[in-house]
Structure 1
Amino acid sequence: LTINNPKLWWPNNLGNPNLYNLNLTATIDGKISDQQNIRFGIRKVEDYLNEQGHRGYKINGKKILIRGGGWVDDLLLADDHDKIEAQMRYVKHLNLNTIRLEGFWGSSKTLYDLADEYGILVMPGWSCQWEWEDYLGKKVDQYGGIITEEEMELISRSLEDQVKWLRNHPSIFVWVLASDMLPRPALEQKYNLVLDKTDPTRPALASCGLYDSEVSGPTAVKMNGPYDYVTPNYWYLDKEKGGAYGFNTETGPGPQPPPLESLKRMIPDDKLWPINDYWDYHCGRKEFNTLNWYLRGYENRYWKAENVEEFLQLAQVVNYEAMRAMFESFGVNKPEATGVVQWMLNSAWPEMFWQLYDYYLMPNGAFYGTRVGSQPINIAYNYGDKNIYVVNDTYQTVENLTALVKVLDIDSKVVYEKQLPVNIREYESNKILDLPVFENISTTYFLSLKISGEQEGLLSENFYWLSTKEDVIDFSDDTWFSTRNKSYADLSLLQTMPKAEIEAEHQFTNSGDDQILSTKLENKSENIAFFIELNVYNKETDQSILPVFWENNFVSILPGETKTIKAHYSQKGLNGGQAAFRFSGFNLTNSE
């Protein structure tokens, strides 16, 4: 079968995920004996090693920076089509292009069908559940628990079955044969025979960890953490473990406590504050059964909250800052950096750890930190060298742009402003400005970055809260799951910001099955309006309408500036009620 000039399948933000349908019919004496309808996409997948020896991937001959999240199924495998589709739409909205599956492959083809449709790459992992005695319930060695010839035969035949089931999905770009360990050499050889026979079109990856296989050579990827909180500069400064180089297949800055509305659904009212063992129950296991590591950074860099409302409002600031830095750093450090997978994307039940949105589909601050940090054209602050970069993840050269850089003190006084031209080739990262050191500026200050074009208008913007006191990481005092600091930045002046006033207008319009909220926010004051949370909710129940797709959220607005922001959501999510809009912020004199 030859298709001339096919429309290729492309991942999110890089082109359209074009799909074809193939109808096959077998007849005997003019009567239909069997028939199949197969949907497929046409694309080519390759892996490669960069100059530093790190593995990366190409789609249709083009390098792609893997930006992903670890997927988990519902605890009781109760995800229905609507919830899976909502999450695939979230992945796309986050500007991510990949989900990694490790032992959780969905209970049907729905996940893969939707990944095909939305242009989301899938990285299925085969073996974490039998690499550890806790999971398998039997003794394991350095290769896991698949030990005997009989076990290896069973597992390799099982892999063959799964590959045949899923191989027509263009979203699957690699078969991951092991997670935390290497497969036993004899087992890896069996796996390779299976793949040679059933699917020679995709690369295999022997392990998500950094290993050298006697069968296939170096994996050239890493899985060295961190898994708990690290300060934003970690990703730029670390050169030994999880930092922004190579392909980090599993990592992240630790917990993401959800907004208060979700917490109230998880924990009884009388246990909401202070943080207690009810909170811990909704954390993780072992090292991750407490928020203590996260709180060390939170309280040293910001301040100690006095109530649950204050704690969770500030937690979204921490979540946003920590997650944005991770995703931005891998973009800034291209081409040495080839990919990063946030551990994790979602949650199997209501919890505090490893989630860009929670079990109820409520986005937290990390969600919008990811969306901003993964913009296809991004203007970013490098927490390592403290300079300004423009990152182009697309396959188009962009020219004749203008970058605007502003530095403001805690009282919103502009202490530095510079406008400069920007041109950037496809899939490139360029430093555009050596940011000067500012003398006599407030300990906590702000950085506003924007990039625009005459025809395109505003393409990208970013807003940072920074400190003259540096985060100093102690790389000699680390653990397998995180790295400690010797000292921390001082962002405590955010508590003392002068008040700002926001004037808001909004309107609702229907668009097919969806409803669109458009809000115009104008800062009427001479002060920055910091970290404004926008919320669309059901007026009858006072609960957020979910899932919701804000163009931007947790936004900061400069003095005299106006922003228009839209949110899309399904009318079905109203459950017969009426939508309403409200907003809140750190230093606002008003809210709605």
Structure 2
Amino acid sequence: MFRSIFTSIIVALTSVTLQAQTRQSLNSNKVQWKLTPQSAIGKDSVQLYAPGFNTGNWVNAVVPGAVFTSYVEAGLEKDPNFGDNIYQVDKSKYNRNFWYRTELDIAKQPGETIWLNFEGINRRGEVFFNGVRLGLLDGFMHRGKFDITELVQTGKKNVLAVLVYWPTLPVPNLASPTYISSDGWDWMPSVPGLLQGITDDVYLTTTGRVTLVDPWVRTDLTREKDGLVSLTVGLMNSGEKELKGVISGTIQPGNISFSRNLNIGAGKTIQQSFDTAIFRQLLIRDPKLWWPNGYGEPHLYTMDLSFSVDGKPSDSRQIRFGIRKYTYDTLGSVLHISVNGERIFIKGGNWGMSEYLLRCRGDEYDLKMQLHREMNYNMVRNWIGSVTDEEFYDACDKYGIMVWDDFWLNSHPNLPTDVFAFNQNAVEKIRRLRNHASIALWCGDNEGYPLPPLNGWLRENVRAFDGDDRWYHANSHSDALTGSGPWVNFHPKWYFTKYPGGFGGNPGWGLRTEIGTAVFTNFESFKKFMPQDKWWPRNEMWDKHFFGKSAFNAGPDNYVSTINKSYGEAAGIEDFCRKAQLVNLETNKAMYEGWLHHMWNDASGIMTWMSQSAYPSMVWQTYDYYYDLTGAYFGVKKANEPIHIQWSYADNSVKLINTTLNKLSNVKAKATVYTLDGKEATQFGKEISLDAAANAATTCFDINFSIDNIAYKTKAVASSFSPEAGDANAVSDGSSGSRWSSNYTDNEWVYIDLGDKKEIAAVTLNWESAYAKAYKIQVSDDAVNWTDVYQTDNGKGGVDQINFKPVHTRYVKMQGIKRASEWGYSLYDFEVYGRNRSSALQDMQFIKLQLTDRQGKLLSDNFYWRSNKSSDYTALNKLPKASLKTSATLKKEGTQSVITASIVNKGRGVAFAIRVQVINSETGKQILPAIMNDNYFTLLKGESKTIRISFDTALLPDGKYKLLAEAYNK
């Protein structure tokens, strides 16, 4: 095997006269690498450069990858994903320097130049080839390109050795440029060795004496949106005499060609530029533009670039690029990002890392970005620059996912130990990645400002090496942003209510770069990383996977409390996981819909913390570490539909959200309300035909759940009000997104003026967290003399439903006696009812929304569950058992298998929150990863749903599967 691999290298290198540049991977899937601690070499440090050096007791190395990962893959460490295994590792074994070594068979031909290339070593690496020190790579994005032509020994083994230096402690920000989270964060454990290693690709290339250096393709648009393409490229002559040649390029599609004759002096590097001033063909009429996901197709072009000497190619490159133009504004102190002249509403997610041990490689990035496209995302934030792989950016280009790209600083009041190495890596990052259409913004620091001199340096780097084509933003949660966080789940209405506060930045919705919630896994994933004796109840092992004090920002206590309050205490871990998916779905959907509700007024976008999982945990993810699609995934996917109909938990309004560039004409919006038994409550339904502007939110109607509330939209009067809330009329406006709050004293009150005397028999008070421990309900005919109809000294907050003997009156007052907190009294709603109240409001309701075009084709649908007791959904546990009928077919489409399944509710009631899974019939395990169009959906009596599930055929080669469809009320 070893010999056959290097035979292919020889063939590749001898073909240089046919192809300008050949590339041969030296990654460990092609070449056998070994590693060992530097301290284990001792006196043999010189001998390791010699062919045949005994590495029998060295460890097989994973390249690219981390040292610790190599030991894991070699079976020398227990599975770090399981239990607390990674916390038990002796870090002293890894927190030191390591040697990497391999031996190569290389042949060379006359006139060829052979280059050894490194794309990244963490944190530093000294490179030796056949005993000669080639140089030091300083920083994990510092590229190395070494001419080894004269050092290659044909017919002998060539020894490549790399001494990799441990990043050192502490990491933030002293060790930067490096993986800032490598020593642990509140979502991943500390990694032994701090992810030191050869962390990016290693390869050989062969060229002539002239090579192309960092080709840079830039695009712009005319007023008519014709494309302007320009190219700047370096040409380096590494030979000892002047060379004459031709640089030429071809752009596809369009077969657009250009060329220029050049003379390049010996040992010189020259810069050449091509633009429309001379090369008019670079003005591309009616180009296929690159658009973010949901706004259009992310069209890409290729430029094949080469330099030839005497008609023979010396070097070539292919650059993929998109014709697009980014512009920015901060009107209203809100950052807006526009592409091709159109404002883009940001729907995005943060990536802490691609995988905590750097095991995400190649096509896996394509899978992750395909999942992001399916969730209707259009942006990913590369948090603290933790992802360095080119494949990440390639996938973002392909799927239309913009990148908010950070550098390697995190709000710590210290500079990197070596600011010059940091800056060199920053320049390298920009030069390496600037051709990617997807990069939308460069950001200096996570939740802070880069300390001098770095902020100025980074700003100038963007100006010099990216031509200011993208925005430089110094601080990730300030300067026309609305902060970051919180990272804990709230009641859905909180995301609609003025304002969902963050930390740092401006008040408002605006552009929020981080906001999130704990997201618990399904049971099938949970048991993959949790020892069985630690399944239940919650214990310290859960905290090792960040569901405890280690992830305090995620509010795991609050998350558990929400499950208990909303759905009832879980009977065990399976029940807990099942109920958690409803919290995941409802919270994550509300998070995005809350921002979309305020689209452009003042909201411009939201990025969840986080959109993917780097470590098996129960926080901050949409799909989990094993690619199981949680309730959060489908909540996000639904909320972010380009054409979307949604309901506001706060004010009961229904809006049509159109984040496309196409106007909608004569569409029909319909809301239907159902009781728990699936019967339509016709008195609450609404329907309207309307037009909807492009890239805007359009109000359809309100659903009036207060049709029997005789206080609805009446005048209210209060003893006082606080500036952080509304005035007294907030309690009667029918919106739970507004509230009244009093001064911070006990004797405060608010009353309703019904306009004239009416018979009343009940009051509902919807308290904010500042509620009354003791209070009275009083009535009056003149608002001067009051009579008590109810009194309590044991107020519990939440929703108080108060019944009393019917009385005719005009004024109804809540008279505070004693506060339950240091704050005043705060009410979202003060409702007043007569003798008769619609039975539909006595428990829970389902809300079904539909948007159809003029032909009746469904454009968007949505489904909610609502309780008049705030978030008390425990009535769902009393739903009659669902009865489902399923059928499915499997077809192969290329390398993919596609299951089309029909799910029918054949029962008498509602089949709530149906989860569909595909199981391997032979192993009984889930088929993952798989992409699904929907899940956790609800079917009313007689309704059906078609589910499409696609996955790699290699996961189910014999095609034997079982389809599971289970409702919450199974």
Question: TM-score of the superposition, structure 2-length normalised?
Answer: 0.55
Query: Which residue number corresponds to residue 324 of structure 1?
Result: 589
Residues 412 and 528 in structure 1, CA contact (< 8 A), matched pair in contact too = yes
CA distance in 1, matches of 2:323, 2:530: 48
Q: Secondary structure at the match of 2:445?
A: coil
Deviation at 1:358?
Answer: 1.0
Query: Which residue number corresponds to residue 434 of structure 1?
Result: 702
Query: Which residue number corresponds to residue 465 of structure 2?
Result: 198
Residues 539 and 577 in structure 1, CA contact (< 8 A), matched pair in contact too = no
CA distance in 2, matches of 1:540, 1:575: 11
Query: Which residue number corresponds to residue 13 of structure 2?
Result: none
Distance 1:244 1:361, change over 3 A: farther
Query: Which residue number corresponds to residue 356 of structure 2?
Result: 75
Identity of aligned pairs, percent?
Answer: 30
CA distance in 1, matches of 2:310, 2:623: 56
Q: Calculate the aligned-residue CA RMSD, in Å.
A: 1.8
Matched, 1:146 2:412: no
Deviation at 1:107?
Answer: 4.4
CA-to-aligned-CA distance 1:447-475 (integer Å, 9 cap, x gap): 111111244711111110111123xxxxx
Residues 68 and 342 in structure 1, CA contact (< 8 A), matched pair in contact too = yes
Higher alpha-carbon deviation: 564-573 or 552-561: 564-573
CA distance in 2, matches of 1:192, 1:55: 17
Residues 886 and 965 in structure 2, CA contact (< 8 A), matched pair in contact too = no
The aligned length equals 546
Question: Which entry has the higher C-alpha Rg, 1 or 2?
Answer: 2
CA distance in 2, matches of 1:147, 1:268: 40
Residues 381 and 403 in structure 2, CA contact (< 8 A), matched pair in contact too = yes
Q: Secondary structure at the match of 1:176?
A: strand
Residues 255 and 353 in structure 1, CA contact (< 8 A), matched pair in contact too = yes
Matched, 1:3 2:385: no
Correspondence for 2:436 among 146, 151, 169: 169
Query: Which residue number corresponds to residue 396 of structure 1?
Result: 662
CA-to-aligned-CA distance 1:308-358 (integer Å, 9 cap, x gap): 111111110110000000111111211121111110011221111101011
Residue type of the partner of 1:157? Q
Query: Which residue number corresponds to residue 614 of structure 2?
Result: 348
CA distance in 2, matches of 1:401, 1:240: 32
Distance 1:309 1:53, change over 3 A: same
Deviation at 1:573?
Answer: 2.1
Matched, 1:302 2:567: yes
Residue type of the partner of 2:578? Q
Residues 532 and 583 in structure 1, CA contact (< 8 A), matched pair in contact too = yes
Q: Secondary structure at the match of 1:356?
A: coil
Query: Which residue number corresponds to residue 450 of structure 2?
Result: 183
Residue type of the partner of 1:375? E
CA distance in 2, matches of 1:461, 1:67: 19
CA-to-aligned-CA distance 1:199-241 (integer Å, 9 cap, x gap): 021111111112xxxxxxxx20133311012111111114262
Correspondence for 2:423 among 150, 156, 165: 156
Q: Secondary structure at the match of 1:490?
A: coil
CA distance in 2, matches of 1:155, 1:421: 58
CA-to-aligned-CA distance 1:351-395 (integer Å, 9 cap, x gap): 111010111111110000000011111110111212111100101
Residues 677 and 879 in structure 2, CA contact (< 8 A), matched pair in contact too = yes
CA distance in 1, matches of 2:480, 2:458: 19
Residue type of the partner of 2:330? L
Residues 173 and 202 in structure 1, CA contact (< 8 A), matched pair in contact too = yes
Deviation at 1:556?
Answer: 0.2
Higher alpha-carbon deviation: 63-72 or 408-417: 408-417
> Which structure has the highest strand share of the two?
2
Matched, 1:462 2:462: no
CA distance in 1, matches of 2:486, 2:955: 36
Matched, 1:266 2:536: no
Residue type of the partner of 2:637? R
Query: Which residue number corresponds to residue 485 of structure 2?
Result: 225
Matched, 1:249 2:530: no
Q: Secondary structure at the match of 2:681?
A: strand
Residues 551 and 567 in structure 1, CA contact (< 8 A), matched pair in contact too = yes
1:560-579 aligned at under 5 Å gives the runs: 560-574=942-956, 576=958, 578-579=960-961
Structure with bigger RCO (C-alpha 8 Å, 6+ apart)? 1
CA distance in 1, matches of 2:855, 2:344: 27
CA distance in 1, matches of 2:508, 2:690: 24
Query: Which residue number corresponds to residue 648 of structure 2?
Result: 382
Question: TM-score of the superposition, structure 1-length normalised?
Answer: 0.89
CA distance in 1, matches of 2:868, 2:963: 37
Correspondence for 1:282 among 545, 549, 560: 545
Residue type of the partner of 1:377? I
Residues 535 and 581 in structure 1, CA contact (< 8 A), matched pair in contact too = yes
Matched, 1:445 2:845: yes
CA distance in 2, matches of 1:172, 1:456: 39
Deviation at 1:301?
Answer: 2.2
